[in-house]
Amino acid sequence: MIADEAYDALIQGFQTGSWESFFDLFDDEVDVILPAPQTGHFTGVEGREKLVGFFSVFTPGTSRFDKVEVISRTVAEDRVVFEDWARGVIFNEPYAARHCIHVMVRNGKVVGFHEYNRPLD
């Protein structure tokens, strides 16, 4: 399933800093909601550009996930919602957060990616 591939490639991107396999799963136009620091809702070509720009800054030298645990995975027609928590380092600072990642698929490509998160105590 393309949504599962996208989620796996997302986590792998944080492990390796290689994002191409993640970006390759997306259509040319994407509906995107991103967390800070690029908080916002972006659509179309701009949505894909914001997605690529947002994730490209996470490199292995400054950011990584040491542990990710999927809490739930919900499938509804053309969309999958992943809930997880992750711990690691983001921009050389300790990181612990819970994520809700909503992936929408159409015609074999990811056309929607909404990410929400909150820090873990």
Q: Which domains does the chain have, with CATH numbers?
A: 2-119 (3.10.450.50)
The low-confidence residues of the chain, meaning pLDDT below 50, are: none
Contact assessment for residue 53 and residue 37, using Cβ atoms and an 8 Å cutoff: no
Q: For residue 45, which phi and psi values (nearest 5 degrees)? A: -60, -40
What pLDDT sits at residue 36?
79
Cα dihedral sign, 23-5-65-100: positive
Predicted pLDDT at 19: 96
Q: Under 8 Å CB-to-CB from 9, ≥6 apart: which residues?
A: 21, 22, 25
State the pLDDT at residue 109. 98
Q: Rounded distance, CA 80 to CA 97, Å?
A: 20
Write down the residue that tokens 């909150």 correspond to: 118
pLDDT at residue number 4 = 97
CA nearest 98: which of 39, 35, 42, 12? 35
Residue range 11-38, pLDDT digits in tens:
999 999 999 999 999 999 999 999 877 7
